[in-house]
Amino acid sequence: MRKYLKMIAIAASLILFGEAYAQYTGPGTVEKLYSAKEIKDNASRLDKSDELVKIQGFIVKQLNNDTYEFKDNTGTLQVEIDKKRLPATPFNDKTEVILVGEVDHDLLESVEVEVKEVKLLLP
């Protein structure tokens, strides 16, 4: 019985630690809000630096299983979002979102952001 209680305590600690980490807002967090145009204009540098970027706008279309079209007031770009990263709350093309991810730039393909986090801006 003690062994199970220890395991439960460890699991609870890991869950609490994970939630605390997700809420961290100090040094090293993504602060700058990029536009779709800025990402396209600086794609090579952003890809090489592995810098996380934050963009705010709308997901306007699903292109395939995990690729979507993102739009802000400067243009559009493709974003890749794994199903596990999508929020539990349903959303549509009218729901404003903040996406955090890494830029993927290949010469023969379009610029894409590999999304690590999706935040819905609900009214």
Instruction: Give per-residue pLDDT as tens, 81-94.
Output: 999 999 999 999 99
C-beta atoms surrounding 84 within 10 Å: 5
DSSP 70-114: EEETTEEEEEE--GGGS-SS---TTSEEEEEEEEE--TTS--EEE
Q: pLDDT band at residue 17, thresholds of 50, 70 and 90? A: very low
The pLDDT tens digits for 33-78 are 999 999 999 999 999 988 899 999 999 999 999 999 999 999 999 9
* Contact yes or no for 71/113 (Cβ under 8 A): no
List the structure tokens of 101: 């991810």
pTM of the full predicted structure? 0.75
CATH 2.40.50.200 describes domain 30-121: yes
Sequence spans of domains, the chain: 30-121
